[in-house]
Structure 1
Amino acid sequence: MFQYIRKVIRKIRRRYVRNLQRRNLPKAAPSVAEAILPLDSDTYTIAPSHLKAMIDQDKPFVLLDVREKWEYEMVHIEGAILIPFGELPRRFREVTPGGEIVVYCHWGMRGLDAAFLLQQLGFKSVRSLVGGIDRWAQEIDTDILRY
């Protein structure tokens, strides 16, 4: 029995290594913010300071939180609406089309994925908050909970 288990584990490990080699994945960025910034930042991202300016100037836009419900209940940016990323493909119609949309998550990756998804669904002006709510908590609202 033990030999059979070892054999299965070796087989799984070989497949895993082969799959990793086939993918030829690029090296990871040192931080989420750096993973996002090499893109055309004006098109896809927004810095926390720019989002703060939009809020202060009462500019009309939709602030979309794509984290999970428990994350939203723990802490969120005031005025945000919650549509978890996993539910976005079927709930995107809840977002008002035509206006500017700012998407955020915890660190920025789900937000960027959501921004790309919304653009593919026909939304024109969609940007992701660089660094997510974590960077917002570091730079803008230091009183909110970081997790």
Structure 2
Amino acid sequence: MISQIRPAQLSEWLETARTHGAPVVLDVREPSELRVASIKADGFELITIPMGVIPPRLNELDPEQPIACLCHHGARSMQVASFLKARGFAHVANISGGINAWSSELDPTVPRY
């Protein structure tokens, strides 16, 4: 089962996740989306890999590291989280509501689009 966390719950998830290694937020949005709205790493490593190129770039991710997936609203990130889980990634979560919710719950300076 993949954990669903809201952006407002991220700091709690990060704290728990650290027992399994250094946590990562994997932003799976497209480069054009990243230019519109991006987050800053704060207490986690930020990795940006568009959803469509996750399979060929899978070796850039550590299956033992806790990973929380992020997209615009949470649908693409859920697909990536499921993909990772099916390939043996042990600690995977989906940031439900995506960067849209991130803006409203954590950081209103992040533009909504």
CA contact (8 A) 1:62 1:96 kept: no
Structure whose alpha-carbon radius of gyration is higher: 1
Aligned length: 106
Alignment of 1:1-147 (within 5 A): 43-54=2-13, 59=18, 60-79=22-41, 80-147=46-113
Task: Report the Cα distance in structure 2 between the residues aligned to 1:89 and 1:44, rounded to whole angstroms.
Answer: 21
TM-score (norm 2): 0.83
Greater strand proportion: 2
When residues 109 and 115 of structure 1 are mapped into structure 2, their CA distance, relative to the original with a 3 A threshold, is same
When residues 138 and 78 of structure 1 are mapped into structure 2, their CA distance, relative to the original with a 3 A threshold, is same
What's the % identity of the aligned pairs?
35
Secondary structure at the aligned position of 2:11 is classed as helix
Structure 1 alignment gaps of length 5 or more: 1-39
Greater helix proportion: 1
Structure 2 alignment gaps of length 5 or more: none
**Deviations for 1:46-75, whole angstroms, at most 9, x for unmatched residues?**
121221345689x42011000001111222
Higher relative contact order (CA 8 A, sep 6+): 2
Deviation beyond 2 Å, 4+ runs, structure 1: 52-57
Letter in 2 for 1:128: N
